[in-house]
Amino acid sequence: KEILSNGSNCAVMRRDRLPSTRMNESVNLWSILRSNIGKDLSKVAMPVQLNEPLNTLQRLCEEVEYCHLLDTAANTHDPHMRMVYIAAFAVSAYACSFTRAGGKPFNPILGETYECLRQDKGFRFIAEQVSHHPPVSACHCESKNYTFWQDVRWKNKFWGKSMEIVPMGVTHLELPGFGDRYEWSKVTSCIHNILSGQRWIEHYGEMSIKHSTTTGDVSHCKVTFLKSRSGALNANEVEGMVTDSNGRVIHSLFGKWNEALYLGKPPSATCIWRANPMPEDHEQYYGFTQFAIELNELEEGLKALLPLTDTRFRPDQRLLEEGDIAGAEEQKERIEVLQRERRRVLQENNMTHSPRFFKRAEDDSWVSNGTYWDLRKDPGFSKLEIPVLW
């Protein structure tokens, strides 16, 4: 186990296992879906048993697991090679989903926050649930080499045997060293066999990564996530093309979003990114990667530093992590009632909720208001008035 500092100047050992395995699901999802036909499923409270012990804010943090690709990009002078690393990073965000079709993340409570400070990886990440209906999660991740931010909202389409998740929102990245800005959007995800059989996840569609600098457009990368033909060997394949400002192809990429991405053409291709090996017994532990296992860990030194709105303090998610399904369900319902109560009070007073750490940008996206880490340092969240969410 690696020994790391968590920002409180105390060394921590990161856990390599969740406290409890996943219990067998005994939910009749069909009866829930059947009684909600035509309804927006994000407005239906689902049984906690369908969840994994992580929430959408933490799922956004998982997208930066392979941030070393951004560090490499930030140290690469050739703009087209920089784009290759950015494309690999954008693809790598999907790797963890391969083993995760079995459960859905917790839907964060409005105002719930999550921080992840990884000095070993050189970044600090914050996220906040900025809207409840529709659910919108915003995040901001910074390091000396890059700034990464996005807000995510999903549209669900239930097709009977499968469910399509269509993401909305733009992912942004800046490399201050070069004055580079990149923007892309996510592809469609589909959970197959939603009601019976082995669930599996597929991603398909085109991701267009636009690169711009203050001097104008420099390059572009189109990454295609291929739909698998049934029984074919092409599952999870991706193909990419980096083009210059004249549309000329400079680099080609190929690989699988769950395994690796290569630059060039076989057989003389170079591996740009490879997914980390999975922990032993991961099937019993929600299919979590090592990075995912660490996300909800509440180390001793961290407790006093976090705002009480941090996901790590959310009791239903913690109880599920510990294997107490009945306790988790009871808490989930209690917390949802509290949230409805707060919503009612706001409505009665003709007020709307304002996120604490994010603000609307001109293009309607959510960006950090830059206050989180300053407040954490001085006066410290324990000295501030923090809303009680649970």
Cα–Cα distance for residue pair 165/237, rounded to 1 Å: 19
Interface with ligand PIF includes 168 (CB under 6 A)? no
By CB under 6 A, name the one of 164, 339, 359, 386 that touches ligand PIF.
339
By CB under 6 A, name the one of 7, 12, 56, 83 that touches ligand PIF.
56
Contact 187, 240 (CB under 8 A): no
* Burial class for 252, CB neighbours closer than 10 Å (0-12, 13-18, 19+): middle
- Residue 106 or 123: the one with the smaller Cβ distance to ligand PIF is 106
CA 74 to chain CA mean position, Å = 22
Q: How far is the CB of 363 from ligand PIF (least distance, A)?
A: 23
Determine the Cα angle at 172 with ends 168 and 178, to 5°.
160
Cα–Cα distance for residue pair 161/230, rounded to 1 Å: 15
By CB under 6 A, name the one of 5, 75, 119, 156 that touches ligand PIF.
156
Interface with ligand PIF includes 347 (CB under 6 A)? no
Interface with ligand PIF includes 135 (CB under 6 A)? yes
* Burial class for 20, CB neighbours closer than 10 Å (0-12, 13-18, 19+): middle
Tokens (6 digits) for 195: 């009601």
Strand pairing partners for 30? Answer: none
- Stretch near ligand PIF under the rule CB under 6 A, chosen from 42-50, 169-177, 241-249, 293-301: 42-50
- Residue 191 or 367: the one with the smaller Cβ distance to ligand PIF is 191
Q: How far is the CB of 340 from ligand PIF (least distance, A)?
A: 5
Interface with ligand PIF includes 166 (CB under 6 A)? no
Question: Of 359, 305, 384, 310, which Cα lies nearest the Cα of 55?
Answer: 310
Greatest C-alpha distance within the chain: 66
- Stretch near ligand PIF under the rule CB under 6 A, chosen from 43-51, 83-91, 230-238, 271-279: 43-51
Interface with ligand PIF includes 336 (CB under 6 A)? yes
By CB under 6 A, name the one of 149, 154, 262, 372 that touches ligand PIF.
154
- Residue 104 or 186: the one with the smaller Cβ distance to ligand PIF is 104
Interface with ligand PIF includes 104 (CB under 6 A)? yes
Q: By rule CB under 6 A, what count of residues binds ligand PIF? A: 20
- Stretch near ligand PIF under the rule CB under 6 A, chosen from 11-19, 100-108, 267-275, 358-366: 100-108
- Other C-beta atoms closer than 10 Å to the C-beta of 270 total 9
Cα–Cα distance for residue pair 91/238, rounded to 1 Å: 8
- Stretch near ligand PIF under the rule CB under 6 A, chosen from 38-46, 170-178, 292-300, 316-324: 38-46
Q: Which residue is nearest to ligand PIF (CB)?
A: 107
Q: Which residues contact 389 (CB under 8 A, 6 or more apart)?
A: 109, 111, 112, 308, 309, 314, 335, 338, 339
Interface with ligand PIF includes 346 (CB under 6 A)? no
CA 246 to chain CA mean position, Å = 34
Q: How far is the CB of 25 from ligand PIF (least distance, A)?
A: 8
Interface with ligand PIF includes 165 (CB under 6 A)? yes
Interface with ligand PIF includes 250 (CB under 6 A)? no
